[in-house]
A and B are shown apart, each in its own frame.
Chain A
Amino acid sequence: MAVRPKILVIEDDRKMSAALVAGLEAAGYDVVAANSAEEGFFLVHRMHPDLLLLDLTLPQRNGLDILKQIREEGIDVRVLILTSHNTVEDRVAGLTTGADDYMGKPFSFPELMARIDALLRRFLPSAPVRAIQIGDLDIDTRTRVATRHGEKLDLTQREFDLLLYLAENNGRTVSREMLARDVWRETSRYTPIDNVIDVQVARLRRKMDDPFTVKLLQTVRGLGFSLREPQP
């Protein structure tokens, strides 16, 4: 990557802000944090970030206010709102004011990473991937066939979807909430399907990892799952 994408975090909670900065920097972004709306607004003009992570409840000035002004001035920046105000109405208000995405606190960090990637990719859409390769695992997205070591895996529809989703996330950890929403298409946050996901992942593991010595599907305790070659 020639130029690292710049991210501005406007968040008044210092702990949250520090954690976000550390996490994003570790992921290879150029990150600057602002603790107030005014400072954030100043930095938007100074550093021209590619992406803005915006908390809505800021001292003195509301986050939506800043967003409105940014959009009125026609500044080209992707905006992801992070807030604990998480009703449908809040979401609608945020998105109609000009946010590109909206995440309710508490969110999972892997999911935040996935959304940031999606937002930054949005303007340079890559051609749909035909094949994904992770170690000796090959996935053909068109024929929907997965092989390991040249050996075809006998997967159900859902197992393939799950594998593909994990593979598309390119080694990043995927949380259960993400799986519930994107693979199982559960819109309600209240639906208790964590054990469904766990059982499904266990089955997938039985089919694609158990017969082989190299294990690709990792469980990250407290976070979720990732599909990657184990570090030596």
Chain B
Amino acid sequence: MSLLRPANLRSRLTLWYVAVLAVLLLVYAALVFTFQYGVLTRQLAHDEVQDIVTVEGLLYFDTSGSLQLHQDYFSRPQSHVLVDRLMEVRDLDGNILYRSATLHDMPLGGPNRKAEGDTGFDERVVRLQDGTHVFLVSHIHVLQGHVLLIRLGYSLKPLRIRMMQFLLLLLVAIPLALVLAGAAGQMIARKALRPLDRMAIRAGSMTANNLSDRLEVPNPNDELGQMAKVFNHLLDRLEQAFSQLQRFTADAAHELRTPLAALRTVGEVALEREHDEEAYRDALGNILEETQRLSQTIDSLLLLARAETTQPGEQQTIFAVSELTQEILELLSIVIEEKRVTVIEENDRPGRAMVKADRSLLRVAILNVLHNALKFSPPASVLRITYTYDEAQPETMRIAFQDAGPGIAAGDTERVFERFFTSASPHTATQSGTGLGLSITRLIVNRSGGEIYFDPQMDAGARCVIVLPTVIGA
């Protein structure tokens, strides 16, 4: 961890905050400084112009012809030493006609420039022989027929000293402000992030045994509160999945125990006393049938596990559902014939309904649904398969399988999808399978991005609807 890349978020935030503030303050100081310097320089120029105008009224040629300045407006004789005005008057040939005592015989600004002061008041900065910088204003003035070039200036030294002091003040004040801001920032960040520490401690202590624990939500509207809420929702789902898994394990154990019990009883009864060969044969056959049921239950559990871990996108191909259904009907045709069931297919837009899914899994799903529908269809009844396309939702299609069987009790249309659900209805009691078929079907359809449900409004027969996302134009 280097000083510039501290590990904790708090210090990083503070560092960034201080850095940005420093840049802002420096820019601000530079602007203020420049502006102030400009204003003061303008003020100086303005004063000098006023001064020139005043001086012009005070200049005169004495009797000997040399240029003089009236000093008698000073109320007191020593007052003139207070005047720090630097002045030089020249004629157009560059001869010095007057030089103020404050210049100590140093020239002010060198030889005449071309058209200096001709059109008004020219401003420039010059350097005296002793190194002083002077802000100078030149002006042409006509006095008693003589054309005079008046140069008047003030030393820039006092201005620069003042500006230096201002700069010094800024240089002291800015770091001080930054230090204060940094400390405050660190404190605020620590306070703002404190709930995060508490959440981390709480989350760290959570295990499968206390999944019902939740993070406290300090303020549901701020970011941390949002995060805590999202995390709590995650925990909700996890807890739900976990309890589902626990229930499933218990159910699975129960489901496996039932055929095991049958196996045991049949075996024990067969061995208890002597039987004829036919009875032994019967018992063994019975036992083998039960083992097949066990085997199927285990295969179904494995298929559930496989469907659950399948990521959408793996092994997906694009195909027409109606073709898949045809293929399955072909497979089941012998059963359909035997039961004298009439299958009616209604598809107003054949060929358009392509879906993208794992074909072998979806085949299991549709086979399960059709198999169920046939199983519960009475002899010589009608099984209706309808494909519908909703104009409002062109990206989905619906396949409905409607049989003329005993139907599903009103309260059971959702529960039939539960694992190991077996109906209490006397119609279906003799036809139970592993109790996993519809759970597998729903899982597969959901994994393919679709939905499956039994129409709860049916009063005759059952109507199973599969909604699938379609691939248009593929």
Contacts and interface: CB of A to CB of B under 8 A. Distances in A.
A222 B292 contact: yes
B288 A223 contact: yes
B364 A222 contact: no
Q: Which of B282, B292, B437 has the most CB of A within 10 A?
A: B292
Contact of A192 (B284, B287, B368): B368
Interface string A171-196: 00000000000001001111111011
Contact of B300 (A106, A184, A190): A190
Contact of A221 (B281, B291, B338, B437): B281
A75 interface: no
A200 B364 contact: no
Main secondary structure of the interface of A (DSSP, over half): loop
Contacts of B363: 188, 191
A118 interface: no
A98 B368 CA distance: 37
Contacts of B228: none
A150 to B, nearest CB: 28
Interface of B: 281-282, 284-289, 291-292, 295, 299-300, 303, 331-332, 334-335, 338, 360, 363-364, 367-368, 371, 375, 433, 437, 440
A144 interface: no
Given A189-B299, A222-B292, A223-B288, A196 B335 contact: yes
Interface string A118-162: 000000000000000000000000000000000000000010000
Given A196-B334, A222-B287, 5 more contacts: A191-B363, A192-B437, A203-B334, A222-B285, A222-B286
A152 to B, nearest CB: 22
Contacts of B284: 221-222
A199 interface: yes
Interface string A192-224: 110110011011000000000000000011110
29 contacts: A106-B291, A106-B295, A187-B360, A188-B360, A188-B364, A190-B299, A190-B300, A190-B303, A190-B364, A190-B440, A191-B367, A192-B367, A192-B368, A192-B437, A195-B335, A196-B331, A196-B332, A199-B335, A203-B338, A220-B285, A221-B281, A221-B282, A221-B284, A221-B286, A221-B288, A222-B284, A222-B287, A222-B289, A222-B292
Contacts of A223: 285, 288
Contacts of B300: 190
A200 B335 CA distance: 8
Contacts of B291: 106, 222
Nearest to B367: A191
Nearest to A175: B292
A199 B338 contact: yes
Interface of A: 106, 158, 184, 187-193, 195-196, 199-200, 202-203, 220-223
A203 B286 CA distance: 24
Closest 9 CB pairs of A and B: A222-B288, A221-B285, A222-B285, A190-B303, A199-B338, A199-B334, A222-B289, A200-B334, A199-B335
Contacts of A195: 335, 375
A222 B289 CA distance: 5
A192 B433 contact: yes
B328 to A, nearest CB: 10
B281 to A, nearest CB: 7
Given A106-B295, A190-B364, A199-B338, A184 B331 contact: yes
Contacts of B335: 195-196, 199
Contact of B331 (A193, A202, A220): A193
B238 to A, nearest CB: 27
Contacts of B332: 196
A124 to B, nearest CB: 33
A158 B332 CA distance: 13
Contacts of A187: 360
Contacts of B299: 189-190
A211 to B, nearest CB: 19
A190 B334 CA distance: 19
Nearest to A200: B334
A149 B291 CA distance: 39
A184 B129 CA distance: 116
A187 B331 CA distance: 13
Contacts of A221: 281-282, 284-286, 288-289
Nearest to B288: A222
A220 B300 CA distance: 25
B430 to A, nearest CB: 14
Contacts of A220: 285
Contacts of A200: 334
A191 B289 contact: no
Nearest to A176: B292
A216 to B, nearest CB: 20
Nearest to B368: A192
A191 B364 contact: yes
A221 to B, nearest CB: 3
A154 B44 CA distance: 125
Nearest to A203: B334
A106 B291 CA distance: 9
Nearest to B284: A222
A222 B360 CA distance: 28
Nearest to A222: B288
Nearest to B287: A222
B444 to A, nearest CB: 10
A193 B296 CA distance: 12
B263 to A, nearest CB: 11
A187 B335 CA distance: 20
A191 B331 CA distance: 11
A187 B360 CA distance: 9
A158 B334 CA distance: 10
B428 to A, nearest CB: 15
A102 B440 CA distance: 27
Contacts of A193: 331
Contacts of B375: 195
A180 B459 CA distance: 36
Nearest to A189: B299
Contacts of B287: 222
B332 to A, nearest CB: 6
B448 to A, nearest CB: 16
A192 B288 contact: no
A200 B338 CA distance: 9
Contacts of A196: 331-332, 334-335
Nearest to A184: B331
